[in-house]
Amino acid sequence: MRIECGAEALSYRELVAVARGEAELAIGPAARTALVNGRAIVERIIALGERAYGISTGLGALSEIVLSGTQQTDLSRNTLMSHACGVGAPLTETATRAIMASLVNDLCHGKSGVSPAVVDQLVALLNHRITPIVPGQGSVGYITHGAHIGLALIGMGDVVVNGRQMPAAEALAQAGLAPITLGAKDGLCLVNGTRCLTGLACLALAEAEAIADWADTIGAMSFEALKGQIAAYDESVLALKPHPGLLHVGRRLRALLADSEIVAKHQGFRTQDALSIRSIPQIHGATRDQIDHVRRQVEIELGSATDNPLVIGTPDDYRVISNAHPHGQSLGMAMDLLGMAVAELGSVAERRLDRLINPAVSTLPAFLVAEGGVNSGMMIAQYAAASLAAENKLLAQPMVTDNYITSAQQEDHLSLGTPSALKCLQIAANTRHILAIEFLLAAQALEFYPGLKPGRGTGAAYGALRGEVPAYHRDRFLSPDIALVARRLGEAGWAGIVAATLPRDI
């Protein structure tokens, strides 16, 4: 598949497809025209000797120092080397590629004044699957990750190609590419803006959407196994509290559980269920409403030019404007919110799966194993889920409300959006593992309802799981099963099997 940067911004789904290696990227004619125009403005500024931040001056607190001649191009190279000071374990290849695609998308608005060769080199690296090694920590919102990526464009640093680490210069040569020479402002264009935050936010949003769908499906399986009372999901009742997410989850649950003989048999079994079962529409629905809000923020940011300074107009009639668009406050808040929303899906899932293994509330065999004592069943799987939920509680604390002063007080308010996006991705990974554990437990619980058919959607989910993971008749090595299921929850296969049983609009 080929995705083109054109007159319109990339959608977050397109960006994620590029990041995951499912699509190649190209620069369309409209974007090329915008790039050439923006660069011509920068060259005009240089030719006229005009004072402009980051073009003919130093950066940050050094913005009062005027540069001339080769100093302006030297600044670009020096910017990458001095700003590439990240620490810690490297980002995943997908995360780094998301940042690269976000860089291309933002630069193609044509308002940065970057050399088109910089964008072409980024696209070439993406399409040749050459991924710079980028330390994950050290960003207060931007700068460090972009600098490490920029170094690879000029043949510095290390990259990964087909799983093998090698020097960037070697990888470029193998792909028939050459290191580029940076011009004035190019280094600043690579480290500035919200491109890093936006790329990571696109990944987090896509993860959250998939997790929300699986939370409904797996929660519905637990509902069946725990003899849930379907009246709580009645359409007329839910309509009395018409939050959009709540209503959407209610429709999904009714469709997932349609024709369930297990649900039908146990109506009237109890007066009402525990909140972790009864309030799935309210809890999951609230998360979906936050996802919708985050989606709007991400889409706006993708359509934004976030460099500083920005160049506007034509080479004959232009303005160069210092501004604060690199500040990622809106998206930083959105990432904090998304982290809390996804953590809640994991929190309530842990409560459901705890009920599944407790015979006092489930009326099922303790720990979902027929021969207890010699077998421990799912006892410790719940411990793992509890640990992940506890970690999520810590990670879900907001970052945007904290603040530090950088660049000798020139940058004295920071969004901390990039670390928030990174912790949001970790929350999503933890929650996917919690749901994987609940999936295994809920499916095992359904083994104790022989002869009773589950719902349309829950039955499809059960069948997909059992196609790869057999039921537990005695204890076996659980960790590989959890890892397999967590991986499948992030792929399209099983999700498609479930979706095929549901109305197209849910």
Q: What is the mean pLDDT of residues 354-374?
A: 89
pLDDT in tens, 154-170: 999 999 999 999 999 99
Output the six-digit token pair for 178.
Answer: 């050459």
pLDDT in tens, 295-320: 999 999 999 999 999 999 999 999 99
pLDDT of residue 344: 98
Eight-state DSSP code of residue 56:
T
pLDDT of residue 140: 79
- Average model confidence (pLDDT) across the chain: 94
Provide the 3-class DSSP secondary structure of residue 453: coil
pLDDT of residue 234: 98
Closest by CA to 134, choosing from 120, 117, 106, 153, is: 153
pLDDT of residue 283: 98
Using CA atoms, how far residue 6 sits from 124, 336, 434, in Å, is: 17, 31, 40
Structural domains in the chain, sorted by start? 2-192 (1.10.275.10), 201-312+325-499 (1.20.200.10)
Query: Cα(280)–Cα(27) distance, rounded to whole angstroms?
Result: 44
**Residues 222, 224, 227, 230, CA torsion sign:** positive
CA angle 119, 124, 130 (to 5 degrees): 120
Query: Cα(266)–Cα(263) distance, rounded to whole angstroms?
Result: 5
Provide the 3-class DSSP secondary structure of residue 329: helix
CB proximity list for 386: less than 8 A, separation 6 or greater: 350, 354
Q: Are 113 and 38 in contact (CB under 8 A)?
A: yes
pTM given for the model: 0.95
CA angle 281, 284, 289 (to 5 degrees): 105
pLDDT of residue 70: 81
Closest by CA to 95, choosing from 138, 150, 132, is: 132
pLDDT in tens, 442-459: 999 999 999 999 999 999
pLDDT of residue 371: 77
Q: What is the mean pLDDT of residues 19-30?
A: 97
Query: Cα(168)–Cα(159) distance, rounded to whole angstroms?
Result: 5
pLDDT of residue 199: 98
- pLDDT exceeds 90 at position 139: no
Provide the 3-class DSSP secondary structure of residue 69: coil
Query: Cα(30)–Cα(40) distance, rounded to whole angstroms?
Result: 16
